[in-house]
Structure 1
Amino acid sequence: MEKSIGVFPFTYIGHDKEKQYLSDGMMEAILHNLSKIKDLKVMSKYSLEKYRDKDRDAIAIGKEMNLTYLLGGSFQLEGSNMKLIVQLIKTSDGSQVWSKQYSGEIKEIFSLQSSVAQKIAVELNAAIEPEEKRLIEKPPTFSLTAYEFYLRGREEYYKYSLDNKNIAPLNKAEEYYRNAIAHDPGYAKAYVGLAEVYKEKFQRGKYSNVHFLDSVRILADSALIFEDKTAEAYAIKGMYYWYRGKRKQSLKEYNKALDLDPNLWEAYRGKGVLFIDSDPVKSIENYQEAASRVHGTDLKFIMREMIVAYGGAGFIKKTVKYNEETLRLFGDSILYFSCMGALEGVEGNFTTAAQWYQKAYEKDSTYIYFFWSAFDILYSLGYNLSLAGNDTESLYYFRKWLNSADKREETKDNGLHRIGYAFWQNGFRDEAQYYFDLQLEICDKLIASKSIWAQNYYSYYDRAAVNAFLGNKEKAYHDLRIFDQKKYVPLWLVNLIKNDPLFDNLRGAPEFLEIVNNVEAKYQKGHEKNAEKLARLYKNEPNL
Structure 2
Amino acid sequence: MPGLTSAEKNFLSQITQLVEENISNEQFGVSELAEAAGMSRSNLLRKIKKITDLSASQFIRNVRLKYASELLEEGAWTVSEISYKVGFGSPSYFIKCFRELYGYPPGELGKHQEADAENLEEQAEVPPLVPKKKFPFTLISFFAIVLIAAVLYVVLRPASPGKANIKSIAVLPFLNDSNDTSNVYIINGLMEATLNNLQQINDLRVISRTSVESYRNNPKSTAEIARELNATYLVEGSGQKIDNQILLNIRLIDTRTNNDLWGQQYRRDTEDIFSLQADVAKNIAEQIEAIVTPEESKRIEKKPTDNLQAYDLFLKGLDFLRIPTEDNLQKAVPLFKTAIQEDKEFARAYAGVAISFFMLDRGKSVKQFADSINYYADQALFYDSKLPQSLTAKALFYMAHNEYELALPYLEKALEISPNSDVVLAFMVDLYVNYLPDTEKYLEYALKGLEIDIVAAYDSGAASYSYLHISNAFIQSAFIDEAQKYIDISLDLLPENLYSQYVKAYIQYARDEDMQRLNKTLLAIFEKDKSRLDVLQEVAKSYYYLGDFETAALYYKPFVEAREKYKLDIYPSENGKIALTFDKTGEKELADKYFNRYKTWAEKDPSVYRNYSLAMYYSYLGDTEKAVEFLDKFSQKDKFNYWIVLFTAVDPLSENMQLHPQYKKIFARIENKFENYHKRIKKSLEVKDLI
Cα distance in 2 for partners of 1:392, 1:6 equals: 55
**Does the alignment pair 1:131 with 2:131?**
no
1:247-258 equivalence runs, <5 A: 250=408, 252-258=409-415
**Does the alignment pair 1:386 with 2:544?**
yes
Cα distance in 2 for partners of 1:475, 1:173 equals: 52
**Secondary structure of 1:494 counterpart:** helix
Question: Could you list the per-position Cα deviations for residues 354-393 of structure 1 after superposition, in whole angstroms to 9, with x for gaps in the alignment?
Answer: 555555555556669xxxxxxx444434333432444455
After superposition, the Cα gap between the structure-2 partners of 1:415 and 1:281, relative to the gap in structure 1 and judged at 3 Å, is: closer
1:513 to 664, 672, 685: 664
Which shifted more, 435-444 or 100-109?
A: 100-109
1:241-320 equivalence runs, <5 A: 244=403, 246=405, 250=408, 252-268=409-425, 280-281=439-440, 283-296=442-455, 302-320=466-484
Q: CA RMSD, aligned part only?
A: 3.8
TM-superposed deviation, 1:278: 7.9
After superposition, the Cα gap between the structure-2 partners of 1:224 and 1:403, relative to the gap in structure 1 and judged at 3 Å, is: same
Matching residue of 2:240: 76
Cα distance in 1 for partners of 2:181, 2:548 equals: 54
After superposition, the Cα gap between the structure-2 partners of 1:30 and 1:329, relative to the gap in structure 1 and judged at 3 Å, is: farther
TM-superposed deviation, 1:338: 3.6
Matching residue of 1:373: none
Cα distance in 2 for partners of 1:286, 1:152 equals: 31
1:306-385 equivalence runs, <5 A: 306-328=470-492, 333-344=497-508, 349-358=514-523, 361=526, 376-385=534-543
Cα distance in 1 for partners of 2:495, 2:254 equals: 29
1:60-139 equivalence runs, <5 A: 60-77=224-241, 81-139=245-303
After superposition, the Cα gap between the structure-2 partners of 1:278 and 1:467, relative to the gap in structure 1 and judged at 3 Å, is: closer
Matching residue of 2:76: none
TM-superposed deviation, 1:3: 2.6
**Does the alignment pair 1:223 with 2:380?**
yes
TM-superposed deviation, 1:283: 4.5
Matching residue of 2:110: none
**Does the alignment pair 1:504 with 2:662?**
no
**Computing the radius of gyration over CA atoms, which structure comes out larger, 1 or 2?**
2
**Secondary structure of 2:657 counterpart:** coil
Cα distance in 1 for partners of 2:313, 2:469 equals: 32
Cα distance in 2 for partners of 1:135, 1:509 equals: 61
Preserved CA contact (<8 Å) 1:343 1:353 = no
Q: Which amino acid aligns with 1:509?
A: H
**Does the alignment pair 1:495 with 2:646?**
yes
Matching residue of 2:390: 233
Cα distance in 2 for partners of 1:365, 1:357 equals: 12
**Does the alignment pair 1:441 with 2:600?**
yes
Cα distance in 2 for partners of 1:145, 1:400 equals: 53
After superposition, the Cα gap between the structure-2 partners of 1:281 and 1:442, relative to the gap in structure 1 and judged at 3 Å, is: closer
**Does the alignment pair 1:417 with 2:581?**
no
Preserved CA contact (<8 Å) 2:439 2:641 = no
Larger RCO, structure (CA 8 Å, separation 6 or more): 2
Report how many residues are paired.
516
Question: Could you list the per-position Cα deviations for residues 327-367 of structure 1 after superposition, in whole angstroms to 9, with x for gaps in the alignment?
Answer: 34566633431431343465655554455555555555666
After superposition, the Cα gap between the structure-2 partners of 1:506 and 1:286, relative to the gap in structure 1 and judged at 3 Å, is: closer
Cα distance in 1 for partners of 2:629, 2:240 equals: 67
Preserved CA contact (<8 Å) 1:266 1:290 = no
Preserved CA contact (<8 Å) 1:337 1:359 = no
Preserved CA contact (<8 Å) 1:280 1:313 = yes
Question: Could you list the per-position Cα deviations for residues 61-101 of structure 1 after superposition, in whole angstroms to 9, with x for gaps in the alignment?
Answer: 32333311111223434665544333222211322233333
Matching residue of 1:371: none
Cα distance in 1 for partners of 2:552, 2:328 equals: 33
Cα distance in 2 for partners of 1:230, 1:275 equals: 23
TM-superposed deviation, 1:314: 0.8
1:53 to 205, 217, 224: 217
After superposition, the Cα gap between the structure-2 partners of 1:25 and 1:398, relative to the gap in structure 1 and judged at 3 Å, is: farther
Which shifted more, 432-441 or 409-418?
A: 409-418
Preserved CA contact (<8 Å) 1:314 1:527 = yes
Cα distance in 2 for partners of 1:266, 1:308 equals: 20
After superposition, the Cα gap between the structure-2 partners of 1:429 and 1:147, relative to the gap in structure 1 and judged at 3 Å, is: farther
After superposition, the Cα gap between the structure-2 partners of 1:96 and 1:482, relative to the gap in structure 1 and judged at 3 Å, is: same
Matching residue of 1:191: 350
Which shifted more, 273-282 or 21-30?
A: 273-282
Preserved CA contact (<8 Å) 2:203 2:290 = yes
Preserved CA contact (<8 Å) 2:385 2:391 = no
Preserved CA contact (<8 Å) 2:576 2:594 = yes
1:38 to 194, 198, 202: 202
Preserved CA contact (<8 Å) 2:361 2:367 = yes
Q: Which amino acid aligns with 1:224?
A: L
TM-superposed deviation, 1:445: 3.3
**Secondary structure of 1:5 counterpart:** strand
After superposition, the Cα gap between the structure-2 partners of 1:379 and 1:278, relative to the gap in structure 1 and judged at 3 Å, is: closer
Preserved CA contact (<8 Å) 1:70 1:91 = yes
After superposition, the Cα gap between the structure-2 partners of 1:268 and 1:46, relative to the gap in structure 1 and judged at 3 Å, is: closer
After superposition, the Cα gap between the structure-2 partners of 1:148 and 1:325, relative to the gap in structure 1 and judged at 3 Å, is: farther
After superposition, the Cα gap between the structure-2 partners of 1:359 and 1:516, relative to the gap in structure 1 and judged at 3 Å, is: same
Matching residue of 2:619: 468
Q: Structure 2 regions of 5+ residues with no counterpart?
A: 1-164
TM-superposed deviation, 1:138: 2.0
Cα distance in 1 for partners of 2:623, 2:522 equals: 34
Cα distance in 2 for partners of 1:404, 1:74 equals: 50
Percent identity (aligned) = 27
Preserved CA contact (<8 Å) 1:269 1:302 = no
Cα distance in 2 for partners of 1:516, 1:219 equals: 47
After superposition, the Cα gap between the structure-2 partners of 1:224 and 1:422, relative to the gap in structure 1 and judged at 3 Å, is: same
TM-score (norm 1): 0.80
Cα distance in 1 for partners of 2:494, 2:235 equals: 24
